[in-house]
Amino acid sequence: MRKSDTTKKQNDVFKYVIGFLVCIILTIIPYSLVMNESLTGGKLLYVVLVFAFLQLFIQMFVFLHLGREKKPLYNTVFFASTFFIILIVVVGSIFIIDHLHYNMSPEDTTHYLAQRENISQVEGQETGACSELRQNHSVVIKDGEVSPIITDANLCDTLTITNNDDETREIAFGSHPSHDSYAGEEEISLRSGKSETITLSVEGTYSFHDHLDPDTYGYFIVSE
């Protein structure tokens, strides 16, 4: 065997090992993000998709030698066509599932949509949405603390949460690490200096916290 052939094989083995290790890392990172709930919602979906596509390209070019064929690039053309077809199917499926989730799903989501569209009745039946909004209650997050930590309110009041810290706050309802929703509200992303207002249209005692910093938490009590 010629020396050049031996060197080429050694280089190929080295590339396979590196590609294998990189693929393992690209699998472990999104797995950890999901299991530790470091990210949630749309951000988690986008990050997982990015890692999936990175791993796809590494496997195609390192292990399947895509684009290295000496004759016409039939494999490359077929792969590109297949890739775009799969991309259309995946993106279309996500769009359809998301659309169904917000239009045909659980009661709290229907309640949320009714409130957002100001639909308090449908054919004489109450939807649970508030036809009139009452008092506004303000909660401020500063230096990782919520003030006031407990808010007493009545049905159809509103609650405004303001983030006065430098970092973005990912406000989730319920206690960490399990999350609930409140009247269809799943998660609120608050950048520094920004506010978000929710309508208190469901009775009960509820808690909220920063998903990225569970020590930042508060409560609100909604009475009739």
Q: What are phi and psi of 140, to 5 degrees?
A: -120, 135
* Domain contains 113: no
Does 81 lie in the same domain as 7? yes
Beta-carbon contacts of residue 129 (< 8 Å; ≥ 6 apart): 111, 114, 115, 118, 119, 120, 199, 201
**Are 193 and 214 a contacting pair, CB within 8 Å?**
no
* Domain contains 144: yes
Number of domains present in the structure of the chain: 2
Residue 179 CA from chain centroid, whole number: 13
Task: Residue 223: name the closest of 130, 155, 157 by CA.
Answer: 155
**Is 0.75 surpassed by the pTM of this model?**
no
Q: What pLDDT does residue 82 have?
A: 80
| pLDDT tens-place values along the chain, 224 residues long | 555 666 666 777 888 888 889 999 999 998 988 888 777 767 788 888 889 888 888 888 787 776 666 666 676 777 778 878 888 888 888 788 776 665 555 666 666 766 676 666 655 666 567 878 889 999 999 999 999 999 999 988 999 999 999 988 989 898 887 788 888 787 888 989 999 998 898 889 999 999 888 899 999 999 98
Does 96 lie in the same domain as 14? yes
Q: What pLDDT does residue 117 have?
A: 65
* Domain contains 120: no
Distances in whole angstroms, Cα of residue 101 to Cα of each of 68, 104, 220: 44, 6, 27
Say which CATH number the domain at 204 has: 2.60.40.420
Q: What pLDDT does residue 139 have?
A: 95
Does 79 lie in the same domain as 16? yes
Q: What pLDDT does residue 174 have?
A: 87
* Domain contains 127: no
- CA–CA gap between residue 96 and residue 59 (Å, rounded): 29
* Domain contains 89: yes
Does 87 lie in the same domain as 7? yes
Q: What are phi and psi of 172, to 5 degrees?
A: -120, 155
Q: What range defines the domain where residue 153 resides? A: 136-223
